[in-house]
Structure 1
Amino acid sequence: MAAESTTQLLRLATAGSVDDGKSTLVGRLLYDTKSVLADQIDAVTRASVDKGLATPDLSLLVDGLRAEREQGITIDVAHRYFATPKRTFVLADTPGHVQYTRNTVSGASTAQLVILLVDARKGVIEQTRRHAAVLALLGVPKLVLAVNKIDLVADAARVFTEIAAEFAALTAALGWAPEDVLEIPVSALHGDNIAARSNNTPYYDGPSLIEHLESVPVDADSSGRHALGLRFPVQYVIRPRTADYPDYRGYAGQIAAGSVAPGDEIVVLPSGIRTTVARIDTPDGELALAQTGRSVTLLLTDEVDISRGDILASPADAPEPVDALDATVCWLGDKPLRPGARLLLKHGTRTTQAIVGALLERFDEQRLAPEPDPETLSLNDIGRISLRLAEPIPADDYRVNRHTGSFLLIDPAGGNTLAAGLVGDVLSGVEVGAGG
């Protein structure tokens, strides 16, 4: 058996307002890292010529459906994949319209770094502040402000300095350390400061965007800000019952935090039963060690009652299962949330019934301040609520672990997702009244 090898993977997302140039920036990243096929480049070049453009319109590389292109907007979270010699990247490209803030939540929820774009001609606007607040609440570890279209402003050095200073004050108020935030002047259209540092921005002496993405230090598991023991939500119980495997009983899922090895003691939550890991199976054979993000099947030394929805955890820091909790939610439903709503709560692989108690606060992302006792939470509102659950869940505080501290609220009738939830008072991490 061999220990699992690690790879240099960075999960990132983009966010920004309409027409800030996100599609062009993502197209430029794909183009400059040679992550698109020659026939795709040829198609983009022909389409650009037909539009009367002198240079390829790289936004066409990432535009979605034709109807979306005709409207000039992108309405889905699209995942893009590219690589450099130093790292591979998975990028979630989110739309900029205010009504699609829900997609920013989805795209950034697992990101280790987010590129937030602003138009140099507009600077930090309301939607920039909204996105920054959402990213802070989601606990995104690293942030890049790409001040795009820097080639279109007079006195670019002054404009960039002022935007960078305003953004640095905003992110400091939201809880980021200065070393976790970088502002870069870029022109996605011309490639300035994307793959290499540009001579057109002599006032900027930092890395290019790709140089920063290749070198920025990130937590390997990106599960949270604190090291945790094992968190393994059970997705399937595997019992093949064949002649070759008459007594096989394995528990399949993806490791949400920590690591596991044969011989490790684990506790089954919410039951509290303890047992020991006997073996770690994968389609490629057994492992001596499996770490965060790896999908595996665990075999245990004892026959215990375990089913889908249970969590296998390290006994040293296992969370206490609870049937009532306070949580921060981003409301994604078209109809407002009111106290007394009966919903389904999905935590890991477990789904249980839930009743909304009080609406405790609504967060004003412009003033960076909570408003107590709102009557409702409307689409894209962020607020703190209380919940009562039909079954206990072993949830960590979101500030400790992003995976086991998050959940979804689901419409029991239609099955659509109504809210993304974060366990604990995440809003307390935001400095009240820091905004302007």
Structure 2
Amino acid sequence: MPTDTSYRTDALIAEDIDAYLAQHQNKSMLRFITCGSVDDGKSTLIGRLLYDSKMIFEDQLAALESDSKRVGTQGQEIDFALLVDGLAAEREQGITIDVAYRFFATEKRKFIVADCPGHEQYTRNMVTGASTADLAVILIDARKGVLTQTRRHSFLCHKLGIRNLVLAVNKMDLVGYDQAQFDAIVADYAHFAESIGIEGFTAIPISGFKGDNITLLSADTPWYSGPTLVDHLETVEISAAGDADGPFRMPVQWVNRPNLDFRGFSGLIAAGSLKPGDSLRSLPSGKTSKVKSIVTMDGDLDHAIAGQSVTVCLEDEIDCSRGDVLATADAPPEVADQFESTIVWMDDEPMVVGRAYWLKLGSQTVSVTVAEPKYEIDVNSMEHLAAKTLHLNQIGVAEITTDRRVVFEPYAENRALGGFILVDKITNHTVGAGMIHFSLRRSQNVHWQATDITRAHHAALKNQTPRVLWFTGLSGSGKSTIANQVEKKLALMNRHTFLLDGDNVRHGLNKDLGFTESDRIENIRRIGEVAKLMTDAGLIVLTAFISPFRADRQLVRDMMDDGEFIEIHVDTPLEVAEARDVKGLYKKAREGKLKNFTGIDSPYEAPEDPEIRVNTVEMTPEEAADFIISKILPLK
């Protein structure tokens, strides 16, 4: 369809576009990625595919020829990589930084290809591209052979569930089309592939620059009798995003309720098929109903399959909302809150064991904590290495615990319900990606026991609304003193309270914890759980802890009902707190005798928007307590 359009009318161009779209509408779609080490020729290969499939307009070709001359390509008439390397930084450096997506089509199939960066520091970008791919083209420079990044990308492709792999040994023209070199590389890769569980791959000798074995078999490789790359891409059998023959799965993205006469559940079918009359189960509630109709913008459907976006209307009004999963009633997925998973860490800051992150799985978003990794995986040797945490681009296996039960299936069975991302609660940055292996048995054996006396009943008996008054601030800021004053005033008001003090709990409940970052996180998590139990008993709980990290205070806030957690920042400048030094801790920290001390060699993240802020330079403890009482009234 691309052609010189300078003499065409708008109407004729529109006719060509309509005819082109109609021609390709019913073709199957293959999503694939190109990956491998730096400068293996990934962008050049994709540019060649676009060029050979005639997906370049005349004006684009002219601009490409001009850019090729400007950047200099060692005599090459066209630098095909410039079709893909769209960022100025990439063109200047001659490398791919971001994932670039391109569309092209042949007579047999449509394609979306992701060009993934080869540099190790951009491995996280490669994971993004691979997460939706059906096939991976792993390029190897024929001069260099199998490299570390080749192994890393292959391992990630395998872990991400890509079962169709093409080993494209590129730049064969630079080694004189030597069959022995090709065979040696294939044998080396096959040995590695077997060690990580890759059951098979298709090896093709190519030259992205010359076009050898891309669309036509090359006369320079008479010893190769396999398919060209395009032939393989056109004919390879692919499984859909979900198995149309398997049980039905649809994460609910939206409850569609435009009026009182219509209620439907909208989402993308992740697996299976659906028709009116089918019995479905909503998870995690477990409620069942039958399909009344399948609604789309183009009208109701008699049948829907994996990959389609639909609105499902049920015969009954059952408990179902965004984040829930509609599934075949007699073959539902699992529900659990503890899992073993593989995690790829994607943030510059290392993973913090015990810290709460957001976990996004399908349309579900929950709070999650990650345990210390069982091991880190060395992508070269596949050796399991001891690890305390994970750093940028490291891959490890760790247990994760969510704050409530989520609907899932192992990633190997269902990408949509087995793959997740981790998001930092403070920065909202995506910090990791993971694949669930299985739920932990203990999560299946422990169930919540319902009781007849509710937290509302406990609160009514005490004639008060449960609260958590969370005092945070530097050591020596006056947290414990002010919290004690507040509790005394509440006692005079006949309120039922309990004060949890940072030093006191370390004599018992938390005596096994030190003062490392992970220990501080666990210290606050335990206090949060205790405070939650006390509010269930109807108490007003006061806590006096440095609690230096915003994410950990947010973790406790998320445990409570809306409005129940009141953050009180006892705002005292470091120099004032240090001058008080009532426990002599600052002096020890300055002398190096006390490590990980907040404000000295460990950070304090002050609240950004606390419910109450008191300044102990301007207020006495008595005045601060009166101010806090005035802010939390009425208590009923």
Fold agreement, TM-score > 0.5: yes
Q: Please list the CA deviations of residues 47-71 of structure 1 after superposition, one character each: whole Å capped at 9, or x if unmatched.
A: 2234374521111111122222112
Q: Quick check: which has more Rg, 1 or 2?
A: 2
**Structure-2 residue corresponding to 1:430:** none
**Structure-2 residue corresponding to 1:174:** 196
Q: Residues 153-172 of structure 1 correspond to what in structure 2 (within 5 A)? A: 153-154=175-176, 156-172=178-194
Confirm whether residue 387 of structure 1 aligns to residue 400 of structure 2. Answer: yes
Residue 435 (structure 2) aligned to one of 394, 413, 422: 422
Give the Cα separation in 2 of the matches to 1:67 and 1:138: 29
Residue 15 (structure 1) aligned to one of 17, 31, 35: 35
**Structure-1 residue corresponding to 2:237:** 217
TM-score, structure 2 length as denominator?
A: 0.63
Which amino acid letter does the alignment assign opposite residue 111 of structure 2? F
Q: Please list the CA deviations of residues 172-219 of structure 1 after superposition, one character each: whole Å capped at 9, or x if unmatched.
A: 2222223xx111111101111101111111111111000000011111
What is the DSSP-based 3-state SS (H/G/I as helix, E as strand, rest coil) of the residue aligned with 1:161?
A: helix
Confirm whether residue 121 of structure 1 aligns to residue 143 of structure 2. Answer: yes
Give the Cα separation in 1 of the matches to 2:273 and 2:26: 13
Residue 283 (structure 1) aligned to one of 297, 310, 323: 297
Give the Cα separation in 2 of the matches to 1:227 and 1:270: 23
CA contact (8 A) 2:361 2:416 kept: no
- Which segments of 5 or more consecutive residues in structure 2 lack a partner in the other structure? 1-24, 440-636
Residue 410 (structure 1) aligned to one of 423, 441, 450: 423
Q: Residues 26-425 of structure 1 correspond to what in structure 2 (within 5 A)? A: 26-50=46-70, 51=72, 53-154=75-176, 156-178=178-200, 181-219=201-239, 221-223=240-242, 228-241=246-259, 246-372=260-386, 374-424=387-437
**Structure-1 residue corresponding to 2:516:** none
What is the DSSP-based 3-state SS (H/G/I as helix, E as strand, rest coil) of the residue aligned with 2:132?
A: coil
Give the Cα separation in 1 of the matches to 2:334 and 2:137: 36
Greater shift, 43-52 or 255-264, is seen at: 43-52
Give the Cα separation in 1 of the matches to 2:330 and 2:381: 40
What is the DSSP-based 3-state SS (H/G/I as helix, E as strand, rest coil) of the residue aligned with 2:417?
A: coil
Which amino acid letter does the alignment assign opposite residue 222 of structure 2? P
Q: Measure how far apart 1:425 and its partner are.
A: 6.2
TM-score, structure 1 length as denominator?
A: 0.91
Residue identity over aligned pairs, in percent, reads: 46
Give the Cα separation in 1 of the matches to 2:369 and 2:68: 53
Which amino acid letter does the alignment assign opposite residue 397 of structure 1? P
Which amino acid letter does the alignment assign opposite residue 325 of structure 1? F
Give the Cα separation in 1 of the matches to 2:245 and 2:154: 25
Q: Please list the CA deviations of residues 134-193 of structure 1 after superposition, one character each: whole Å capped at 9, or x if unmatched.
A: 111112110001111100014611111111111122222222223xx1111111011111
Q: Measure how far apart 1:319 and its partner are.
A: 1.7
Cα RMSD (Å) of the superposition? 1.8
**Structure-2 residue corresponding to 1:432:** none
Which amino acid letter does the alignment assign opposite residue 393 of structure 1? V
Q: Measure how far apart 1:346 and its partner are.
A: 0.7
Which amino acid letter does the alignment assign opposite residue 199 of structure 1? A
What is the DSSP-based 3-state SS (H/G/I as helix, E as strand, rest coil) of the residue aligned with 2:82?
A: helix
Greater shift, 147-156 or 207-216, is seen at: 147-156
Which amino acid letter does the alignment assign opposite residue 252 of structure 2? V
Q: Measure how far apart 1:6 and its partner are.
A: 6.9
Give the Cα separation in 1 of the matches to 2:219 and 2:213: 9
Give the Cα separation in 2 of the matches to 1:54 and 1:74: 19
CA 227–418 in structure 1, closer or farther in 2 if over 3 Å, else same: farther
Which amino acid letter does the alignment assign opposite residue 433 of structure 2? A
Higher relative contact order (CA 8 A, sep 6+): 1
CA contact (8 A) 1:338 1:359 kept: no
CA 275–155 in structure 1, closer or farther in 2 if over 3 Å, else same: closer
Give the Cα separation in 1 of the matches to 2:342 and 2:115: 24
Which structure's residues are more often strand, by fraction?
Answer: 1
Q: Measure how far apart 1:307 and its partner are.
A: 1.0
What is the DSSP-based 3-state SS (H/G/I as helix, E as strand, rest coil) of the residue aligned with 1:175?
A: coil
Which amino acid letter does the alignment assign opposite residue 42 of structure 1? A
CA 223–378 in structure 1, closer or farther in 2 if over 3 Å, else same: farther
Give the Cα separation in 1 of the matches to 2:113 and 2:358: 30
CA contact (8 A) 1:261 1:277 kept: yes
Give the Cα separation in 2 of the matches to 1:425 and 1:172: 23
Q: Measure how far apart 1:228 and its partner are.
A: 3.1
CA contact (8 A) 2:245 2:273 kept: no
CA contact (8 A) 1:384 1:425 kept: no
Give the Cα separation in 2 of the matches to 1:96 and 1:69: 15
Q: Please list the CA deviations of residues 311-364 of structure 1 after superposition, one character each: whole Å capped at 9, or x if unmatched.
A: 001123212211111111111111111321211111111111112223212111
What is the DSSP-based 3-state SS (H/G/I as helix, E as strand, rest coil) of the residue aligned with 2:390?
A: coil
**Structure-2 residue corresponding to 1:434:** none
CA 412–96 in structure 1, closer or farther in 2 if over 3 Å, else same: same
Give the Cα separation in 2 of the matches to 1:150 and 1:425: 43
Q: Measure how far apart 1:268 and its partner are.
A: 0.3
- Which segments of 5 or more consecutive residues in structure 1 lack a partner in the other structure? 427-436
CA contact (8 A) 2:177 2:221 kept: no
CA contact (8 A) 1:338 1:375 kept: no
CA contact (8 A) 1:255 1:292 kept: yes
Which amino acid letter does the alignment assign opposite residue 190 of structure 2? A
What is the DSSP-based 3-state SS (H/G/I as helix, E as strand, rest coil) of the residue aligned with 1:170?
A: helix
Give the Cα separation in 2 of the matches to 1:33 and 1:92: 16
Which amino acid letter does the alignment assign opposite residue 298 of structure 1? V
Q: Measure how far apart 1:365 and its partner are.
A: 1.0
CA 391–274 in structure 1, closer or farther in 2 if over 3 Å, else same: same
Which amino acid letter does the alignment assign opposite residue 118 of structure 1? I
Give the Cα separation in 1 of the matches to 2:304 and 2:375: 40
Which amino acid letter does the alignment assign opposite residue 210 of structure 2? H
Q: Measure how far apart 1:16 and its partner are.
A: 1.2
Greater shift, 68-77 or 92-101, is seen at: 68-77
Give the Cα separation in 2 of the matches to 1:236 and 1:166: 49
What is the DSSP-based 3-state SS (H/G/I as helix, E as strand, rest coil) of the residue aligned with 2:137?
A: strand
Which amino acid letter does the alignment assign opposite residue 110 of structure 1? T
